[in-house]
DNA sequence: CATCAATACATACATTCTGTATGTTTAACT
DNA sequence: AGTTAAACATACAGAATGTATGTATTGATG
């Protein structure tokens, strides 16, 4: 005699997860991972801690989900602009600018770069970035190497170094430095890779 | 009738602080700031939590002291080698290599770069780095600008970007990438700043 | 459609940690 | 010698984390 089946389990789960992710993201950006408590998160989300620990292994797991979402968004942004460029070097520059802009939006620098590094560790963060945001960078560098457009350097270290240099740029912009002053330096660094 | 004055207060303080710093450093490097508890630290140091909270404001304050010590050590290393170089560009390269090497020693990358960024925040970490490790970098870049050896870019953003690029390099080496493969990329980046 | 199983929570609990408050010992000062 | 102050040591209050357990709603099944 129990009656109303208002919502399916799938929808219910999606809704709750979204609420938690939204609330978590806001708080993690504002106060960081460590300073944000789970009671705080669930209160902001309008659910209970039971729901949180049902859908996520622990606080870190919720955080990881948020980082993955942010990385995915950045990756999508890069792909959106990186397609049209005259040279491979230009493509690298365009993609780099897109990365910095996308990462300094919505507080993503805090989640994906600052907290992500400390909470998830370099290894796991790198793996996430590899899945979402560094696909086109690797392709671009690989193409550049094949074409002989850049100095003969090892691909993987190159991917890492360009990637972390861009992380640095995003961090600086996030810290308040002017994108208009950071961008030309990023481009200069990339020029350093090119064979003149 | 109380007698033995075995040790002066100054010596006593120095000794206790050193024990705490040494134990804290070891644990922070191994497990990170958040995962290291103060009971753990004082146990490893052979003192009590009372001693810790007497000499430091809180856990973060102990951590800050450790970061400052590590940054100072890196700064000293840089100054040791950065003096002799033919050109300003060479000086920048030499200093950069020294920074990466010194930072990837003794687990300093973990304290000064990874945990430092999340625990102290970008602003405070930057201020510490400015006091200890970026003096010669700023001088070097200033000289290079004056000499017209590098492209005409704003000094402060330049300091920030080179600095964070080097942070990235140190992080990668710390994560296991080969210094021999990272170093030439760092040098290439610096070449990108130079006017050919 | 009645019942059983499983998912999605909600609540209670045990443990642990943090910072502070307070007590005690030892050095420093007069 | 006696008082002050520094250097701890111990006890405590509050909060947070993850788990265990209880309940309600959905999904599957005969």
The DSSP line for B111-134 is: IIIIIHHHHHHHHHHHHHHHHHTS
- Provide, in whole angstroms, the distance separating residue A54's CA from nucleotide C8's C1': 8
Closest-approach nucleotide to residue A12, Cα vs C1': C8
Going by pLDDT thresholds of 50, 70 and 90, the confidence category of residue A8 is confident
The mean pLDDT of A149-164, rounded to a whole number, is 97
Name the residue of chain B whose CA is nearest to A167's CA: B168
- Which of A120, A93, A123, A115 has the alpha carbon at shortest distance from A186? A93
Tell me the pLDDT of chain A averaged across its residues: 95
Classified as helix, coil or strand, A2 is coil
Give the model's pLDDT for residue A2.
44
Flag whether residue B168 sits within 8 Å of chain A, measured between CB atoms.
Answer: yes
Work out if A1's Cβ lies within 7 angstroms of strand D. Answer: no
The mean pLDDT of A47-68, rounded to a whole number, is 98
Q: Which of A20-34, A181-195, B1-15, B28-42 has the lowest mean pLDDT?
A: B1-15
| CA gap A1, A183 in Å, rounded | 65
Going by pLDDT thresholds of 50, 70 and 90, the confidence category of residue A151 is very high
Going by pLDDT thresholds of 50, 70 and 90, the confidence category of residue A153 is very high
**Neighbour-count burial of B142, counting CB atoms closer than 10 A to its CB (0-12 exposed, 13-18 middle, 19+ buried):** middle
Going by pLDDT thresholds of 50, 70 and 90, the confidence category of residue A4 is low
pLDDT exceeds 80 at position B82: no
Give the model's pLDDT for residue B85.
83
Which tokens is A48 given? Answer: 């209970």
Tell me the pLDDT of chain B averaged across its residues: 95
The mean pLDDT of B146-151, rounded to a whole number, is 96
Q: What's B160's DSSP letter?
A: H
Flag whether residue A137 sits within 8 Å of chain B, measured between CB atoms.
Answer: no
pLDDT exceeds 70 at position B23: yes
Give the model's pLDDT for residue A27.
98
CB–CB contact A169 B172 (8 Å): no
pLDDT exceeds 60 at position B41: yes
- The Cα angle at residue B42 between residues B37 and B46, in degrees rounded to 5: 150
- Which of A160, A42, A124 has the alpha carbon at shortest distance from B185? A160
Which tokens is B156 given? Answer: 């402060």
Q: How much is the pTM?
A: 0.94
For residues B164 and B130, the answer to whether their CB atoms sit within 8 Å is no
- Provide, in whole angstroms, the distance separating residue B84's CA from nucleotide C10's C1': 68
- Could you say which of B32, B190, B196 has the minimum Cβ distance to residue A118? B32
CB burial readout B70-80, b (16+ within 10 A) else e = bbebbbebbee
- Cβ within 7 Å of strand C: which of A 12-51? 12-13, 16, 47-51
Going by C-beta distance under 8 Å and a sequence separation of 6 or more, which residues neighbour residue A163? A129, A134, A137, B168
| CA gap A49, A28 in Å, rounded | 17
Percent of chain B whose predicted confidence (pLDDT) is above 90: 91
- Provide, in whole angstroms, the distance separating residue B55's CA from nucleotide D8's C1': 10
Instruction: Look up tokens 């780095």; give the residue.
Output: B129
Query: B61 CA to chain A: closest CA distance, Å?
Result: 16
**Neighbour-count burial of A40, counting CB atoms closer than 10 A to its CB (0-12 exposed, 13-18 middle, 19+ buried):** middle
For residues A179 and B147, the answer to whether their CB atoms sit within 8 Å is no
| CA gap A148, B86 in Å, rounded | 30
Helices (H) and strands (E) in chain B, counts: 10, 0
Classified as helix, coil or strand, A103 is helix
CB burial readout A57-77, b (16+ within 10 A) else e = eebeebbbbbbbbbbebbbeb
């Amino acid at each position: 005699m129990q009656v109303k089946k208002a919502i399916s389990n799938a929808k219910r789960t999606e809704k709750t997860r979204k609420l938690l992710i939204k609330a978590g993201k806001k708080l993690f950006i504002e106060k960081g991972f460590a300073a944000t408590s789970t009671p705080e998160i669930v209160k902001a989300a309008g659910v209970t801690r039971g729901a949180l620990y049902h859908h996520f292994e622990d606080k870190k797991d919720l955080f990881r989900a948020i980082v993955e979402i942010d990385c995915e968004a950045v990756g999508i942004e890069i792909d959106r602009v990186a397609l049209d460029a005259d040279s491979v070097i230009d493509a690298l520059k365009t993609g780099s600018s897109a990365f910095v802009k996308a990462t300094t939006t919505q507080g993503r620098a805090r989640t994906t770069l600052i907290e992500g590094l400390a909470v998830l560790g370099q290894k796991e963060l790198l793996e996430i970035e590899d899945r979402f945001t560094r696909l086109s960078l690797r392709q671009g560098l690989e193409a550049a190497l094949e074409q002989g457009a850049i100095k003969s350097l090892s691909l993987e270290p190159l991917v890492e170094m360009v990637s972390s240099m861009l992380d640095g740029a995003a961090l600086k912009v996030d810290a308040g430095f002017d994108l208009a002053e950071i961008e030309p330096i990023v481009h200069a660094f990339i020029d350093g890779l090119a064979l003149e």
